[in-house]
């Protein structure tokens, strides 16, 4: 205890020092302009639009709500507001007063500009003290061909260097070697625990309802935390506050419809967007009875409303509801879904201080039932979070911005329960529920030391507390319970805390070149236990506990950035090294399902990941796109597995290449193609076999000692956009997934030959070869 | 249990458009043959000793002769097993419920040991048949149910084997279950792996397994069941043998019953 309070004192001291250092930059002869930058078409706030003063070579960008604040010495300047795909607006200085200034930008008039696939203006990548971050908006990626024609932002980010896909077709992704659960996916501030629909072939994010996304590859500033590898921050559309619009799409597997409308013109708006798949309707035509009686669908609904109370107060209410259903006659049932709700209040204290308060509810539940000896047994599990956040942004002057805030989460876990009737074959069961609090304070300072050196640094102080009611077991080496402790309601079971420093330095060599360096520590208090290669809803989320320590990662990254041809090309080289502590894996032969002793089935160890990422992007012209290449290694070491030797993690991929190209043929036709290649995943294959009791039993020697065959695939797409008629816009999207029909192995299984069972062979399952699709989109 | 199998069905449904399966060449390492002990105590003790082979070799497993094989019970009685044919050692000693037994195998001055406790027997109450329900993947015949009364407050582990008289189950299905959620209940186990037809004589065998034997089978079946999705971390079945030997020293009791299918 003594030690830790010392650390706290030191922390407070550090903060004081830090605050005094920035108060010295206050000066009186300044003016501050602040306000919102919005789209003139829809009235929505534009995230990350640039506000730039050419005479001073200084500027700022709007935050996640479109708000900005810029403090300048008194004088005459021209302030330029710009955002990709919109016309610039320049405001001469004599009109600037020490006041609020809301700006509306007109969408760029030429159609050509719309397909520019960049969201960051000009040379932001060179100037910002931020690395390992990517911003995308669905609008910019809608030309990229995707499987079954369903535009999917999670599939698009898998094409970026440092981000690799999970197994074929799924929306799970790995960032710089981190596990799927080490990505925090937040939708309007609400964590989304399972991002997959239809066993992962679709993601839960309906791109019609999404405005913007940001992915931090482990170097997020201190206002984000809770996961080791990445933060994927997704913002929902606000809805058109100018006029009522309808848009939608009809696809082979699913259809979408979105309505947007002002509540009070220019003051408030709402959007409601829904999606439903109908894959199972084709099952009716199947000859197989089991397939005929199968339900297989998902739906989701995004809704959001916002209202501007006055210039200084704006509120947002947003929600998401998604559900997946699988029923196979009386054999099997599987249901899962997320529900999230967020209430946010933007408050502008003055033209320098902005506050967003959020109250967030997030719920993920999954259940499955199966026929066991003519009895349906239903097992249900879930997680529920209530989350409170206060995020301040203090725009001290054009060289100093301070972010600070607090976050508290209450987690509730239901690992599994069975509700049985008296005469059922099964007994009822209620597994140990878990309750926990997670909290954090943070402060992050964005400091332009000079024209050449910029730094973003900060601290996140996070804590976790598992509380009763709970029954906690400790185990011996044989995984037997040796001690049982019972905790009453509210009693503290276990506390953890972590100090997470973060810093990114940017040295701007000249207008076209910069070098960046960053360090970040991240702590993670919730963990996903998964024993299959696919993302099944039976994967189990568990909180940290007496037996399970929080995971911690340290990441170092170094990058070189260069733009040329008047920012037409943007290139980067980044290297990273990551050390991971308290990593979790299942021991061999672990029993997971409905096991109150699941913690005894875990083994703990460390991980390391390092790699090189190359990226070249062409931002303008008829041909746009990018090439990304990642060379990496990801390894783990656990005392109980292979005697603690380092072994490759299953997501370890030596080479990973993505090539994305889009070509504007004429005003009506856009063509696109992407090609991906990666080294096969690390897998465990048998090396020998023996016979026992009539069974042929494989012999495994090394964990993940083999490789799946290399994966590669070409997708082609074309979009036809007929001339706009009055207010009606439409487009046709055609695509072919896996155009040259590569048989990529989804899985490889080993089994006896059908005719000669003692002769064993390897079977490859290939899922998707040459899948054509067509989607019709409309808007009016 | 069956979950994984059902997931496999789902996957095939989800991808019924273009999924395809074929045999491919995979380079697997060659490994030093390992000692395999398939030892079982029921009414008698039979221990088969052999060596493993490389995975893609034909299924011929060299027997290991001239081992010294002994079984000791927990009262200290020691029985030496006789090699009745190459690599097969046996002794007609009956396993007594609740007794502990230790197997010792000595080969080339290396000793391999395993211990097991003979479980308490649970017998079949009755067998019933019903027409195959129409949600199954086959139809037109009958499926067999086995009824038993699980003993309360005892951890029981079962294995069910159903086949036509004088035939072995052609698919060699490994059906094991424990009483974790059915403790003390009347249990009806449905054999839904295959169906039978009129005039078939069906033999139902209920084995009550020792815990370590169940653990071996459970982890073995998870290798087989992972199916098309692929088990993320397949591993060798959990053994109760020492010194790196593969296989197990298993113990189980047997209850058998027969039914002739008449409509």
Q: What is the pLDDT of residues A90-103, one digit of tens each?
A: 877 665 565 667 88
* CB < 8 Å to B50, chain A: 690-691
Interval A577-596 mean pLDDT: 84
Interval B84-96 mean pLDDT: 90
pLDDT over threshold 80, residue A141: no
Q: How many domains are contained in chain A? A: 2
pLDDT over threshold 50, residue A3: no
Tell me the CATH architecture of domain B35-117.
Answer: Sandwich (2.60)
- Contact A334/B at CB under 8 A: yes
pLDDT over threshold 50, residue A119: no
> Which of A93, A109, A125 marks a domain boundary?
A109
Q: Can you read off the two tokens belonging to residue A696? A: 């042929």
Residue A447 forms part of a structural domain: yes
Task: Give the B window 17-56 contacts with A, CB below 8 Å.
Answer: 17-26, 28-31, 33-34, 36, 38, 40, 50-56
d(CA A391, CA A502): 17
Q: Regarding the domain delimited by B124-209+252-260, which CATH topology (the fold level of the hierarchy) does it fall under?
A: Immunoglobulin-like (2.60.40)
Q: What is the pLDDT of residues A275-297, one digit of tens each?
A: 998 866 666 665 565 666 677 78
A40: domain range? Answer: 2-109
Domain chopping of chain B, boundaries:
35-117, 124-209+252-260
Q: Can you read off the two tokens belonging to residue A777? A: 């989109």
Residue A59 forms part of a structural domain: yes
Asked if A695 lies within 8 A of B17 by C-beta distance, the reply is no
Indicate the SS3 state at residue A425.
coil
Domain at A102, CATH number: 2.60.40.1120
Q: pLDDT at position A610, please?
A: 96
Residue A515's pLDDT band, with cuts at 50, 70 and 90, is: very high
Does residue A520 or residue A768 have the better pLDDT? Answer: A520
A202, A584, A691, A708: best to mutate for the B interface, most B CBs within 10 A:
A691
Pair (A675, A731) in one structural domain = yes
Pair (A592, A676) in one structural domain = yes
Residue A525's pLDDT band, with cuts at 50, 70 and 90, is: very high
Residues of chain A above pLDDT 90, percent: 38
d(CA B29, CA B234): 17
pLDDT over threshold 50, residue A117: no
Backbone angles phi, psi at A20, to 5 degrees: -65, -35
Domain at A216, CATH number: 2.40.170.20
Residue A307's pLDDT band, with cuts at 50, 70 and 90, is: very high
Q: Which of B3, B22, B56 sits opposite A764 (nearest CB)?
A: B22
**What's the distance, CA A721 to chain centroid?**
31
Residue A511's pLDDT band, with cuts at 50, 70 and 90, is: confident
Asked if B229 lies within 8 A of A703 by C-beta distance, the reply is no
B2, B4, B7: best to mutate for the A interface, most A CBs within 10 A:
B7
- Contact B233/A at CB under 8 A: yes
Give the residue on A whose Cα is nearest the Cα of B57: A759
* CB < 8 Å to A636, chain B: none
d(CA B69, CA B73): 14
Residue B39's pLDDT band, with cuts at 50, 70 and 90, is: very high
Burial of B48 (0-12, 13-18, 19+ CB in 10 A): buried
Q: What is the pLDDT of residues A204-221, one digit of tens each?
A: 888 888 888 889 998 888
Asked if A689 lies within 8 A of B226 by C-beta distance, the reply is no
Q: pLDDT at position B105, please?
A: 96
Q: pLDDT at position A531, please?
A: 63
Pair (A413, A512) in one structural domain = yes
Pair (A322, A431) in one structural domain = yes
Q: pLDDT at position B230, please?
A: 55
Q: What is the pLDDT of residues B212-252, one digit of tens each?
A: 999 999 888 888 765 545 566 788 999 999 999 999 999 99
Residue A523's pLDDT band, with cuts at 50, 70 and 90, is: very high
pLDDT over threshold 70, residue A108: yes
Pair (A686, A602) in one structural domain = yes
Pair (A145, A91) in one structural domain = no
Asked if B234 lies within 8 A of A290 by C-beta distance, the reply is no
Q: pLDDT at position A756, please?
A: 78
Pair (A639, A496) in one structural domain = yes
Q: Which of B6, B185, B227 sits opposite A427 (nearest CB)?
A: B185
Cα of A176 to nearest chain B Cα, Å: 20
Residue A619's pLDDT band, with cuts at 50, 70 and 90, is: confident
Pair (A514, A414) in one structural domain = yes
Asked if B235 lies within 8 A of A589 by C-beta distance, the reply is yes
Q: What is the pLDDT of residues A145-179, one digit of tens each?
A: 776 677 788 888 888 899 988 776 566 789 998 88
pLDDT over threshold 50, residue B6: no
pLDDT over threshold 70, residue B87: yes
Pair (A104, A144) in one structural domain = no
Asked if A687 lies within 8 A of B20 by C-beta distance, the reply is no
Q: pLDDT at position A199, please?
A: 67
> Which of A59, A77, A109 marks a domain boundary?
A109
Peptide bond into A539 cis (omega under 30): no
Sequence length of chain B is 263
Question: Under a CB-based contact definition with an 8 Å cutoff, are residues A519 and A483 in contact?
Answer: no
Q: What is the pLDDT of chain A when averaged over all its residues? A: 84
Q: How far is CA A568 from CA A87, A122, A141, A428, A662, in A?
A: 18, 8, 18, 64, 15
pLDDT over threshold 60, residue B16: no
> Which of A109, A143, A172 marks a domain boundary?
A109
Q: What is the pLDDT of residues A330-339, one digit of tens each?
A: 777 888 889 9
Residue A581 forms part of a structural domain: yes
Residue A120 forms part of a structural domain: no
Residue A381's pLDDT band, with cuts at 50, 70 and 90, is: confident
* CB < 8 Å to A748, chain B: 24, 26, 230
Residue A513 forms part of a structural domain: yes
pLDDT over threshold 50, residue A74: yes
Q: Which of A57-66, A402-411, A542-551 has the lowest mean pLDDT?
A: A57-66
pLDDT over threshold 70, residue A535: no
Give the residue on A whose Cα is nearest the Cα of B133: A374
Asked if A699 lies within 8 A of B55 by C-beta distance, the reply is yes
Tally of CB atoms within 10 A around A486? 10
Pair (A354, A216) in one structural domain = yes
Q: Which of B16, B56, B228 sits opposite A765 (nearest CB)?
A: B228
Q: Which of A331, A533, A768 sits opposite B232 (nearest CB)?
A: A533
- Contact A95/B at CB under 8 A: no
Which residue spans within A652-759 are E strands per DSSP? 655-664, 669-678, 682-683, 686-692, 695-700, 706-707, 711-720, 729-737, 745-752
Cα of B107 to nearest chain A Cα, Å: 18
Question: Under a CB-based contact definition with an 8 Å cutoff, are residues A531 and B232 in contact?
Answer: yes
pLDDT over threshold 60, residue A114: no
Q: pLDDT at position A774, please?
A: 87
Pair (A104, A137) in one structural domain = no
Q: Which of A70-74, B42-46, B99-103 has the lowest mean pLDDT?
A: A70-74
Pair (A102, A211) in one structural domain = no
HEC letters along chain B: CCHHHHHHHHHHHHCCCCCEEEEECCCCCCCCCCEEEEEEECCCEEEEEEECEECCCCCCCCECCCCEEEEEECCCCEEECEEEECCEEEECCCCCCCCEEEEEEEECCEEEEEEEECCCCCCEEEEEEEECCCCCCCCCCEEEEEEEECCCCCCCEEEEEEEECCCCCCCCCCEEEECCCCCCCEEEEEEEEEEECCCCEEEEEEEEECHHHHHHHHHHHHHHHCCCCCECCCCCCCCCECCCCEEEEEEEEEEEEEEECCC
pLDDT over threshold 90, residue A635: yes
Q: pLDDT at position A112, please?
A: 40
Asked if A687 lies within 8 A of B18 by C-beta distance, the reply is no
pLDDT over threshold 50, residue A728: yes
Interval B127-155 mean pLDDT: 86
Interval A528-543 mean pLDDT: 72
Q: Which of A290, A427, A697 sits opposite B135 (nearest CB)?
A: A290
Q: pLDDT at position A287, please?
A: 58
């Amino acid at each position: 205890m003594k030690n830790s309070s010392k650390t706290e004192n030191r922390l407070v001291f550090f903060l004081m020092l830090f605050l005094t250092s920035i108060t010295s930059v206050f000066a009186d002869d300044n003016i501050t302009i602040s306000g919102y930058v919005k789209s003139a078409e829809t009235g929505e706030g534009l995230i990350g639009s640039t506000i730039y003063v050419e005479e001073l070579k200084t500027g700022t960008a709007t935050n996640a709500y479109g708000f900005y604040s810029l403090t300048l010495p008194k004088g005459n300047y021209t302030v330029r507001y710009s955002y990709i795909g919109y016309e610039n607006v320049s405001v001469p200085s004599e009109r600037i007063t020490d006041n609020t200034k809301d700006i509306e930008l007109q969408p760029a008039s030429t159609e050509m500009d719309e397909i520019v696939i960049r969201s960051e203006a000009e040379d932001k990548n060179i100037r910002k003290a931020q690395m390992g971050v990517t911003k995308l908006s669905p609008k910019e990626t809608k030309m990229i061909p995707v499987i079954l024609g369903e535009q999917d932002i999670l599939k698009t980010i898998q094409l970026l260097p440092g981000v690799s896909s999970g197994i074929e077709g799924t929306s799970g992704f790995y960032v710089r070697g981190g596990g799927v659960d080490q990505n925090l996916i937040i939708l309007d501030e609400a964590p989304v625990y399972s991002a997959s629909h239809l066993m992962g072939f679709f993601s839960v994010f309906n791109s019609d309802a999404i405005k913007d996304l940001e992915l931090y590859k482990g170097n997020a500033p201190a206002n984000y935390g809770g996961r080791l590898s990445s933060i994927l921050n997704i913002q929902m559309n606000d809805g058109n506050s100018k006029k009522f619009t309808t848009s939608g799409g009809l696809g082979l597997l699913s259809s979408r419809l979105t309505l947007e409308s002002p509540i009070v013109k220019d003051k408030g708006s709402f959007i409601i967007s829904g999606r439903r798949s109908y894959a199972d309707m084709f099952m009716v035509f199947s000859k197989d009875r089991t397939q005929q009686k199968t339900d297989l669908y998902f739906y989701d609904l995004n809704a959001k409303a916002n209202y501007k109370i006055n210039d200084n107060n704006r509120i947002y209410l947003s929600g998401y509801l998604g559900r997946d259903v699988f029923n196979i006659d009386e054999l099997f049932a599987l249901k899962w879904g997320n529900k999230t709700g967020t209430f946010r209040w933007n408050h502008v204290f003055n033209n320098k201080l902005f506050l967003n308060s959020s109250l967030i509810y997030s719920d993920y539940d999954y259940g499955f039932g199966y026929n066991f000896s003519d009895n349906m047994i239903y097992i249900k599990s879930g997680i529920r979070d209530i989350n409170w956040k206060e995020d301040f942004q203090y725009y001290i002057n054009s060289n100093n911005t301070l972010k600070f805030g607090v976050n508290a989460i209450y987690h509730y876990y239901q690992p599994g329960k069975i509700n049985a009737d008296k005469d059922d074959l099964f007994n009822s069961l209620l597994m140990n529920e878990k309750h926990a609090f997670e909290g954090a304070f943070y402060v992050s300072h964005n400091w332009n030391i000079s024209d050449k050196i910029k730094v973003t640094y900060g601290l996140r102080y996070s804590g976790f507390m598992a509380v009763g009611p709970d029954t906690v077991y400790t185990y011996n080496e044989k995984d037997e319970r040796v001690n049982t402790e019972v905790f009453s309601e509210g009693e503290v079971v276990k506390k953890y805390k972590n100090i997470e420093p973060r810093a990114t330095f940017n040295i701007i060599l000249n207008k076209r070149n910069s070098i960046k360096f960053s360090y970040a520590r991240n702590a993670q208090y919730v963990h996903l236990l998964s024993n299959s290669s696919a993302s099944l809803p039976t994967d189990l989320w568990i909180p940290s506990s007496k037996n399970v320590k929080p995971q911690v990662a340290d990441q170092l990254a170094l990058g070189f950035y260069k733009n040329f041809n008047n920012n037409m090309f943007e290139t980067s080289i980044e290297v990273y090294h990551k050390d991971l502590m308290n990593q979790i894996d299942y021991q061999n032969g672990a029993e997971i399902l409905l096991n109150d002793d699941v913690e005894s089935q875990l083994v703990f160890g460390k991980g390391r990941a390092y790699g090189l990422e190359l990226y070249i992007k062409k931002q303008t012209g008829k041909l746009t796109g990018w090439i990304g290449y990642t060379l990496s290694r990801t390894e783990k070491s656990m005392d109980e597995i292979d005697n603690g030797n380092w072994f490759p993690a299953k997501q370890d991929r030596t080479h990973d290449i993505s090539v994305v190209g889009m070509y504007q043929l004429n005003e009506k036709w856009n063509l696109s193609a992407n090609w991906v290649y990666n080294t096969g995943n690390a897998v465990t294959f048998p090396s020998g076999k023996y016979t026992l009791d009539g069974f042929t039993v494989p012999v495994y020697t090394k964990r993940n000692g083999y490789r799946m065959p290399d994966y590669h695939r070409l997708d082609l797409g074309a979009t036809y956009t007929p001339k706009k008629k009055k207010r009606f816009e439409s487009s046709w999207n055609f695509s072919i997934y896996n155009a040259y029909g590569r048989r990529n192995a989804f899985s490889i299984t080993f089994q006896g030959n059908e005719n000669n069972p003692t002769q064993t062979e390897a079977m490859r399952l290939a899922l998707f070869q040459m899948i054509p699709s067509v989607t019709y989109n409309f808007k009016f | 249990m069956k979950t994984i199998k059902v997931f496999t069905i789902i996957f095939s449904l989800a991808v019924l458009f273009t999924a395809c399966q074929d045999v491919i060449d995979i380079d697997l390492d060659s490994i030093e043959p390992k000692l395999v002990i398939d030892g079982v105590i029921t009414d008698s003790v039979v221990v088969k000793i052999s060596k493993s082979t490389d995975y893609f070799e034909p299924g011929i497993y060299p027997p290991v002769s001239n081992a010294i094989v002994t079984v000791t019970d927990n009262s200290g009685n020691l029985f030496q097993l006789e090699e009745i044919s190459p690599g097969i050692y046996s002794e007609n000693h009956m396993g007594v419920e609740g007794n502990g037994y230790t197997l010792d195998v000595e080969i080339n001055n290396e000793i391999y040991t395993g211990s097991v406790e003979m479980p308490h027997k649970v017998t079949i109450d009755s067998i019933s048949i019903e027409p195959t329900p129409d949600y199954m993947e086959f139809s037109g015949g009958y499926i067999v149910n086995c009824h038993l009364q699980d003993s309360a407050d005892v951890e029981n582990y079962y294995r069910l084997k159903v086949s036509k008289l004088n035939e072995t189950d052609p698919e060699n299905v490994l059906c094991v279950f424990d009483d974790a959620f059915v403790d003390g209940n009347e249990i009806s186990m449905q054999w839904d792996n295959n169906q039978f037809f009129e005039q078939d004589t069906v033999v139902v065998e209920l084995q009550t397994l020792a815990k370590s034997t169940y653990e071996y089978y459970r982890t073995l079946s998870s290798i087989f069941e992972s199916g098309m999705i692929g088990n993320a971390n397949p591993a060798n079945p959990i053994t109760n043998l020492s010194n790196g030997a593969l296989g197990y020293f298993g113990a189980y009791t047997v209850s058998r019953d027969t039914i002739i299918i008449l409509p």
